[in-house]
Amino acid sequence: MASSISESIQNIVSIGFNFTRSDYKTVVLLSSVYGIMAGARSSLTSDILCFVWIWLYLLQFCTANQVFSGDEDAMNKPYRPIPAGLISVRNTWILRWTLVPICSALSWYLDVTLAGLSLTVSFILYNELGFHAYFYSKNILNAIGIVSWNVGAAQILHKDNLSPHMRIATFLSIMLIFTTIHAQDFRDEAGDRKLGRITFPVVFPVWSRRITSALLLAWTLGLTTMWRLNYLLAISFVVLGSYTAVRILTDKSEAASKVSLRLYMLWLSIAQILPFTLNEVSQVAY
């Protein structure tokens, strides 16, 4: 009896972990860092609740997304629960919709109802309604989703003690992600072309790299100037942004694009928390 219960718990943990495995660094880690940086020190209880909130919404997204990607995952990510045979498509669908009221109730309890609602709606648009198939709508929904996670995490951790730069930081994050998040599509360009997806690199294979590189450089220099960074941080940020932009422009192999994506995600996470490195509102160059 005890052995059976233990095995069931292990299976549940394994299913949950493998649904979200490929997104821990890009969602859980980055949103947690953003939340921590957005205000004064939080309590351990708030930290735990924040992690649970981020992860449950990530699980909601991943179950919604992977219901439709079983064949592709069988080739590229066989560890995921559906191709690995850990859970059926039907049960994944049930889990996906069961998570909606659970996540909504948790958002209400933590007083982040708007952030939670924003995530749930964006998941439906992205997955069930197929808006992920077009790069312009995909970019918008990525921006809404990531910023909703970030803002929700910040509010859970800090309540009314948020950074004075929170509003402008949120606006800039939306624009940053909307204009550059397609950098993640370069690694999947060949596969997306075969599957008929309308991504920026597929539609504009040459100009997409040029435009993305130019945008990264423009954002890097613009944010460095706007936030009046100290010399060490400014030089580090400019070097990272410039190097990432050059890699995206010149190194076009799939393996190289995966490395460029990691650099881009590092650049994006730093770009979003730059305003929280300042102590005084007067330091900002509006």
C-alpha dihedral sign at 113, 115, 119, 125 = positive
At residue 77, the 3 state secondary structure works out as coil
> Measured between alpha carbons, how far apart are the two ends of the chain, in Å?
65
Residues 20, 55: Cα–Cα separation, whole Å: 8
Along the 286 residues of the chain, how does pLDDT read in single tens digits?
555 556 667 778 889 898 998 888 889 999 999 999 988 777 889 999 999 999 999 999 999 999 988 777 777 788 889 998 889 999 999 999 999 999 999 999 999 999 999 999 999 999 999 898 888 899 999 999 999 999 999 999 998 788 888 899 999 999 999 999 989 888 877 777 776 777 888 888 889 999 999 999 999 999 999 998 899 999 999 999 999 999 999 988 878 888 998 999 999 999 999 998 875 433 444 3
- Asked if 107 and 116 count as a contact pair (C-beta separation under 8 A), the reply is yes
| Helices assigned H by DSSP within the chain | 2-20, 30-37, 44-66, 70-76, 89-109, 113-126, 135-158, 166-180, 189-195, 200-203, 207-226, 231-250, 254-273
Alpha-carbon distance 274 to 154, whole Å? 15
CA distance 274 to 49: 25
User: Given the structure tokens 């198939």, which residue do they identify?
Assistant: 133
Quick check: pTM over 0.85?
yes
**Domains of the chain, each with CATH number or no CATH:** 1-160 (1.10.357.140), 163-286 (no CATH)
CB 16 within 8 Å of CB 80: no
